[in-house]
């Protein structure tokens, strides 16, 4: 059973590949990847079962906050976690006010990322269950 379906968005390809492998091996997550904001939005347009997006803040062109706002405008049910080396209180607050589930600072242990993905997925699934008339 797939524990969660995750989209990793970061312009650093080696980081994406390493994190994807770890999420697949450690938690059996289904993982998609993108290396830019526009590419991430394309993936989300084609993949309807994404639970959580792990999103880098600093990327060329469309930055993480812009991608977050686009995701929340089009697919508000998806939980978005920002993962960045540049986090400060002001960035974390802006991310949370923009609809982010969490804002983690790189480097971050893969177990911490996995734990937060599971929490985000549970939040999404509970919200979907309620909207479908469940408890």
Q: Which residues contact 57 (CB under 8 A, 6 or more apart)?
A: 63, 64, 65, 82, 83, 84, 86, 87, 91, 95
Tell me the mean pLDDT in the region 60-83. Answer: 94
DSSP state of 49: T
- Give yes or no for residue 51 having a pLDDT over 60: yes
End-to-end CA distance of the chain: 23
Domain ranges of the chain: 5-131
Q: pLDDT-derived band of residue 90, with 50, 70 and 90 as boundaries?
A: confident
Mean pLDDT on 103-116: 88
Residue 2 is predicted with a pLDDT of: 56
Closest CA to 99 of 131, 75, 129: 75
* Res. 1: pLDDT tops 50: no
Tell whether the model's pLDDT for residue 134 goes beyond 70.
no
Q: Which of 51, 68, 50 is nearest to 59 (CA)?
A: 68
Cα–Cα distance for residue pair 112/132, rounded to 1 Å: 30
Lowest mean per-residue pLDDT among 91-95, 116-120, 131-135: 131-135
Tell me the pLDDT of the chain averaged across its residues: 90
CB neighbours (10 Å) of residue 119?
15
- The DSSP string of 79-123 is EEEEEESS--HHHHHHHHHTT-SEEEESS--HHHHHHHHHHHHHH
Averaged pLDDT for residues 26-47:
96
Tell me what the mean pLDDT of segment 39-67 comes to. 94
Comparing CA positions, the residue from 66, 49, 48 lying closest to residue 9 is 66
Residues 70-79 have a mean pLDDT of: 96
What is the rounded distance in angstroms from the CA atom of residue 73 to the CA atom of residue 67? 10
Query: Structure pTM?
Result: 0.91
CATH superfamily of 5-131: Response regulator (3.40.50.2300)
């Amino acid at each position: 059973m797939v524990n969660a379906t995750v989209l990793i968005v970061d312009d650093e390809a080696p980081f994406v590949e390493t994190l994807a492998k770890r999420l697949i091996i450690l938690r059996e997550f289904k993982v998609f990847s993108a290396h830019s904001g526009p590419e991430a939005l394309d993936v989300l347009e084609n993949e309807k079962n994404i639970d959580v997006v792990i999103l880098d803040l600093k990327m060329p062109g469309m930055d993480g906050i812009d991608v977050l706002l686009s995701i929340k405008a089009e697919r508000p049910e998806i939980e978005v976690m920002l993962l960045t080396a540049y986090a400060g209180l002001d960035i974390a607050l802006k991310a949370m006010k923009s609809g982010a589930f969490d804002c983690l600072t790189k480097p971050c242990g893969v177990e911490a990322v996995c734990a937060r993905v599971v929490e985000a997925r549970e939040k999404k699934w509970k919200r979907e269950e309620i909207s479908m008339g469940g408890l």
